[in-house]
Amino acid sequence: MSDDTGVERTLVLLKPDAVARGLVGRIVARFEDALLKVVAAKMVWMDADLTKRHYFDLEERFGPEVYNLMAEFMQTGPVLALVLEGVEAVACTRKLVGPTYPDQAAPGTIRGDFAHMSRAYANEHHLAVANLVHASGNPDEAEHEIDVWFGKEDIHEYPTAAQQYLRQQQYLQ
């Protein structure tokens, strides 16, 4: 979802490894520091149906082995699902998260700072890559994924303190 001001929404999942390692607050803070606003959040233990709806095309794109590894991994513990809103939220979020494979992620990105598993290690040991975060790849994907995870009643409109301050400053001029 995007409007004419460039403000859009994106889905982020803090995966079971992020939750189990106690990184939820630190990761969410990174998004908020970049002026992305949390407009929906819920913790869910994914079941087979939700996993299939979220990763609906993964098996087709990468084969059943990749899908099965990811599905098994995503069901090992709860995930925190978030809808973030902000200017160019999809691209901003992907930049903050870093590349899919943690060993390719630069320091300063979430995966570069906190993740630890390389693609080679995951492949050698038949594991899903533990990379902490799922982030929608583009605005269309974001819209689809948000609809999988949240109803319209779950998404909240509110001004942040920064937005209120900016409005107040514009009023005073």
**Tell me: the pLDDT tens digits for 158-172?**
988 877 777 777 766
Instruction: Note whether residue 1 is domain-resident.
Output: no
Q: Determine the structural domain holding residue 88 and report its residue range.
A: 7-172
Which position among 116, 126, 134, 144 bears the catalytic label?
134
- 157 located within any domain: yes
Whole-angstrom distance, CA of residue 48 vs CA of residue 68: 10
Q: Is residue 130 in a domain?
A: yes
- What total number of domains does the chain contain? 1
Q: Are 45 and 20 in contact (CB under 8 A)?
A: no
Instruction: Tell me the pLDDT tens digit for each residue of 17-39.
Output: 999 999 999 999 999 999 999 99
The CATH number for 125's domain is 3.30.70.141
- Give the chain as a DSSP string: -B-TTSEEEEEEEE-HHHHHTT-HHHHHHHHHHTT-EEEEEEEE---HHHHHHHTTTHHHHH-HHHHHHHHHHHTSS-EEEEEEEEETHHHHHHHHH--SSGGGSPBTBHHHHH----HHHHHHTT-----SEEE-SSHHHHHHHHHHH--GGG------HHHHHHHHHHHH-
Rounded to an integer, the average pLDDT of 58-69 is: 78
List, in sequence order, every residue forming a beta bridge with 41; answer none if it has no partner: 82
pLDDT digits (tens, 9 = 90+) for 118-164: 989 988 998 888 999 999 999 999 999 999 999 999 999 998 887 77
In a domain, 87, yes or no: yes
pLDDT tens digits, 74-110: 999 999 999 999 999 999 999 999 999 999 999 999 9
In a domain, 121, yes or no: yes
pTM (two decimals): 0.90
- pLDDT of 47-56, one tens digit each? 999 999 998 8
- Would residue 65 count as lying in a domain? yes
Does the annotation count 134 as an active-site position? yes
List the 7-14 sheet strands across, edge first: 37-44, 79-87, 7-14, 133-135
Q: Quick check: is 48 in a domain?
A: yes
Determine, yes or no, domain membership for 153: yes
